[in-house]
Structure 1
Amino acid sequence: MPECGLLVSAPGKVILHGEHAVVHGKAALAVALGLRTFLRLRPGGGERLRIHLPGVGVRREWDVAELRALRGRLTGGANSPSVEQLDTLKEFAGIAADASAPDSLAILAFLYMCLAISAKYGDVPSVDITVWSELPTGAGLGSSAAYAVCLAAALLHACGAISCPLKDGEATARWTEEEMTLINSWAFQGERVIHGNPSGVDNAVGTWGGALRYQSGKITSLKRVPMLRILLTNTKVPRSTKVLVAGVKEKILKFPAIMNPVLDSIDAISQECQSVLEAMPTNPSPEYYPVLEELFDINQHHLNVIGVGHPSLDRLCRVTASHGLHSKLTGAGGGGCGITLLPPDATPLAVEAAKRDLCACGYECWETDIGAPGVTLHSSSSLNAQVLHALSES
């Protein structure tokens, strides 16, 4: 490992189309978000393993010999977290048995991944790891998966299981398909520690980037999708995904003849959008954008019909429509986040005015893009000053 260490990033994700319908066997499109999580790994000193997560106020360190002894006490499969393994790790780290706070789960996932990966590929590494994210937690934007992907890449490299493809003079580099498959498989185990029974979509988007289609447990990567500019808006209205999913199911059972065609229509929107996205790179015509905008509008109406809308999201759509822009909710709905497409002819003046009006509603707003690259290795010169500062905090 070079003395300067390793700089890794992975993107968050948004659902473009197919929310809720995916639970009922329909297709969903997930896309990588321009907002990323960044990790810096440096050689440690004094046989210590350290992790620093400035965003959630975590700074922990352990003696490597202690961790080796702990690893010997873990029973069960090397890469599938069991209740017994996690209970042992919680006790070791002083984490409450029923802990669900992001900082506790982040420490737990880190310890599990470090010990499980080192058990398979080498010794417990003596390294300092700092992780900082542009992604808000708990907003349905794949922040935990981006964290797990970064950890998997860094720990696999520290244990010698994957290469360091970044050459002198290069700004960024990607791993081979085989290495990314390995990163993804371990990131999924980290997601299991945090979420229990995840779909695997978030970590797959974090690993490969671009866009993925998910249907009935099968994940397919879309080939050559364009980068699209969006506004991402967090209404900051809390919601329970579990309650919203149960509400949709209840409505389908109550009105099957009405609701099932709506789910079929959402499925058709996902398929139509996939066709458009895959056609755009070879024929970058501006005529595609009105189609994408219309699909946003139709799907947003459908999501209101199935009961996952919210006044805060209606307001978001009205505000952006007043500036000639088209929006829809993304994720569970009932509050949470929305996305607004920014076509090439959207003027900077209109975008700034929309952002100003959204912030005046008490929302948080980012101008970013979708279709971003997956897990990436960076030179320090390729990262902006804010990221480098956050990762250099001692």
Structure 2
Amino acid sequence: MFVEEIVVSAPGKAILHGEHAVVHGKVALAVSLNLRTYLWLKSNSTGKVCINLPNINTFLCWDLSELKQLAPHCCAKREEIKLLDAELVARLRDFVGVTNGNTDTRSMATLAFLYIYLSLFGSGDLPSLTVSVWSELPTGAGLGSSAAFSVCLAAALLATSGAIPAPLRDWDKTSRWCQEDMELINSWAFQGEMIIHGNPSGVDNAVGTWGGMLRFLSGKIIPLSRVPLLRILLTNTKVPRSTKVLVAGVKDKINKFPSIMNPVLDSVDAISCTCEKTLSEMTSQPITGEHYNVLEELIDINQHQLDVMGVGHPALDVLCRTTLARGLHSKLTGAGGGGCGITLLRPETDSVIVQNTIQDLKDCGFDCWETSIGGPGVQQHSALSVKDEVLELLGCY
């Protein structure tokens, strides 16, 4: 074991434009959220492996002897990635008690952790360690919380195994891995996502790994090298919805009215491309009010398009009306039908307006945070660079 203690974090994600249209071969833009998941890994001498998940009041420990019996007979090299080991997954599902009808957050998080841990260490001596994970992201809200968890697990366990270095130097507060190491982190994180979600697109874990903004088209994910950091409000309407049902509904509407809906999809594609061009301009020339005017108009148009697709919801209408009353522009992010929305904040937006808007949305029964999009992906932290309250929740004190 090459690293005995490490603190890492990874961001959540939001879809800026292209929801649902991306399923039909159009461009989507995914961005990192500056709401992060933090992981603290520390070796111990107890002969046990423990996972601490304070967000969901979970603390589990296993003896190394019982985990060794579950380990795969042969493992891939730690520096490589392989196809999901279906046999190991099946053994772990039985061990954790996961059935087809039991996919609660605690069970799936435990399953992903044990799978990556045993895949990386199972061919040798299993290390005794404690992993604590705490997140600023709500679960089940379409904000990439499971992917941020998987990215943190992959980074910390790969560093612990020696497959990748710990990039942090003594004088650094934070540090990031090189491209090659991040590709390995992303590959293992995708394994975790497959265990949790079955057939993920790979977008969420890619955003968690690279951060910034990614262009997603027909299964191809391209990280964009430079994007401006934009302030937003992120609102969770707390209205539950089924992504599967919403996606099926859009497909039915396209099949029923192809001559009407296909131009809508083309228009959504054009919005994603126009937004990408505008954001690129904002990194290569002085940012002007006109740039923000364009971004606001694109948000308004895209929200109407999503309503036409049938994925709006009265709670999202309330969100849009409430923020527009303060001069701010909002759209849903993700599957729609409830869920979350984002509101763009201009640089000159007064803090009083921001706080009043947050209160307005809370009065509607929503959760709301001021945050930003476009920040860094997975990174290692010195303990001094992480907020004290986060370290306390992770059990570092």
Partner of 1:135: 137
Within 2, Cα distance between the matches of 1:232 and 1:260?
Answer: 30
Q: Name the SS for the 2:199 alignment partner.
A: coil
Within 2, Cα distance between the matches of 1:35 and 1:192?
Answer: 23
Any stretches of 5+ residues in structure 2 without a counterpart?
none
The 8 Å contact of residues 13 and 207 in structure 2, kept in 1 or not, is answered as yes
The 8 Å contact of residues 74 and 88 in structure 1, kept in 2 or not, is answered as no
Within 1, Cα distance between the matches of 2:244 and 2:343?
Answer: 25
Within 2, Cα distance between the matches of 1:45 and 1:377?
Answer: 24
Q: Name the SS for the 1:98 alignment partner.
A: coil
Please give the TM-score of this superposition, normalised by the length of structure 1: 0.96
The 8 Å contact of residues 72 and 119 in structure 2, kept in 1 or not, is answered as no
Q: Following superposition of structure 1 onto structure 2, how do residues 69-80 of structure 1 map, counting pairs within 5 Å?
A: 69-72=69-72, 79-80=82-83
Moved more, 168-177 or 76-85: 76-85
The 8 Å contact of residues 76 and 82 in structure 1, kept in 2 or not, is answered as no
* Matching of residue 386 in structure 1 with residue 389 in structure 2: yes
Within 2, Cα distance between the matches of 1:268 and 1:230?
Answer: 22
Q: Give the residue type in structure 2 aligned to 1:308.
A: V
Q: Please state how far the C-alpha of 1:47 moved relative to its aligned partner.
A: 2.1
Within 2, Cα distance between the matches of 1:93 and 1:292?
Answer: 46
Q: Please state how far the C-alpha of 1:84 moved relative to its aligned partner.
A: 3.5
Partner of 1:47: 47
* Matching of residue 98 in structure 1 with residue 62 in structure 2: no
Report % sequence identity. 59
Q: Please state how far the C-alpha of 1:74 moved relative to its aligned partner.
A: 8.2
Within 2, Cα distance between the matches of 1:336 and 1:284?
Answer: 35
Partner of 1:30: 30
The 8 Å contact of residues 57 and 103 in structure 1, kept in 2 or not, is answered as no
Any stretches of 5+ residues in structure 1 without a counterpart?
none
The 8 Å contact of residues 137 and 143 in structure 2, kept in 1 or not, is answered as yes
Deviations 1:6-36 (A, max 9, x none): 1100000000000000000000000000000
Partner of 2:118: 115
Partner of 2:186: 184
Superposed structure 1 runs of 4+ greater than 6 Å apart? 1-4, 74-78
- From 366, 376, 387, the equivalent of 1:363 is 366
Partner of 1:257: 259
Q: Following superposition of structure 1 onto structure 2, how do residues 230-269 of structure 1 map, counting pairs within 5 Å?
A: 230-269=232-271
Q: Please state how far the C-alpha of 1:44 moved relative to its aligned partner.
A: 1.4
Q: Name the SS for the 2:316 alignment partner.
A: helix
Q: State the Cα RMSD in Å.
A: 1.9
The 8 Å contact of residues 22 and 215 in structure 1, kept in 2 or not, is answered as yes
Q: Following superposition of structure 1 onto structure 2, how do residues 2-41 of structure 1 map, counting pairs within 5 Å?
A: 5-41=5-41
Aligned residues: 393
The 8 Å contact of residues 113 and 190 in structure 1, kept in 2 or not, is answered as yes
Alpha-carbon distance change, 35 to 20 in structure 1, aligned in 2, over 3 angstroms = same
Deviations 1:251-289 (A, max 9, x none): 001110000000000000000001111111121322211
Partner of 1:278: 280
Alpha-carbon distance change, 261 to 339 in structure 1, aligned in 2, over 3 angstroms = same
Partner of 1:81: 84
The 8 Å contact of residues 3 and 162 in structure 2, kept in 1 or not, is answered as no
The 8 Å contact of residues 2 and 162 in structure 2, kept in 1 or not, is answered as no
Q: Please state how far the C-alpha of 1:3 moved relative to its aligned partner.
A: 8.6
The 8 Å contact of residues 2 and 159 in structure 2, kept in 1 or not, is answered as no
Partner of 2:202: 200
Q: Name the SS for the 2:284 alignment partner.
A: coil
Partner of 2:338: 335
Within 1, Cα distance between the matches of 2:348 and 2:396?
Answer: 40
* Matching of residue 319 in structure 1 with residue 312 in structure 2: no
Q: Please state how far the C-alpha of 1:79 moved relative to its aligned partner.
A: 3.5
Within 2, Cα distance between the matches of 1:83 and 1:55?
Answer: 29
Q: Please state how far the C-alpha of 1:85 moved relative to its aligned partner.
A: 2.5
Q: Give the residue type in structure 1 aligned to 2:356.
A: A
